[in-house]
Amino acid sequence: MALIANAFAAEVDLLDDYVEAQVHGSVDLEHDVEALVLDPCYRGTAIERVAGQLPCRLEWHSGFSLSTNELAELPDYRGRDTVDLGFEVAQDTVINARVIGDAANTGRYPEQRLKKLWHCVSRFGVAP
């Protein structure tokens, strides 16, 4: 339990300050999950339709969106290569969860680079 105290005591960015949990075994969505929370960029998509069929509540958060211009001002946050990646994958100069998911689905980008890009979007992005 010392990890929890260390996480609370650390003075680092919130996206670098968490305790990861792993589940070994099955997860029953009906009994083990209170809600699935989606980004609003998935409204009206196949993702929403499939999520709506799951045996747990579906909720929406406010969403995060970041423009490439805003990303260009953040090279010190997750590195210049993350900014370059954002420009490469952006759709109409916008980066959001769907854009990053689409990039991940191509298999062309390392997951850790996409994770850093998501950190930029979730930390500095705003609701669309």
Residue 27 within any structural domain of the chain: no
Residue 88 within any structural domain of the chain: yes
Residues linked to residue 59 through DSSP beta bridges, in sequence order: 37
Residues whose CB is less than 8 angstroms from the CB of residue 13 and which lie 6 or more positions away in sequence, other chains included: 123
Q: What is the pLDDT of residues 31-74, one digit of tens each?
A: 999 999 999 999 999 999 999 999 999 999 999 999 999 999 99
Q: How confident is the model at residue 7 (pLDDT cuts 50, 70, 90)?
A: low
The residue range of the domain holding 100 is 65-124
Number of domains in the chain: 1
Residue 46 within any structural domain of the chain: no
* Whether the predicted model's global pTM rises above the 0.85 cut: no
Cα distance between residue 85 and residue 65, in whole Å: 15
Q: What is the pLDDT of residues 69-107, one digit of tens each?
A: 999 999 899 999 999 999 999 999 999 999 999 999 999
Residue 100 within any structural domain of the chain: yes
Residue 60 within any structural domain of the chain: no
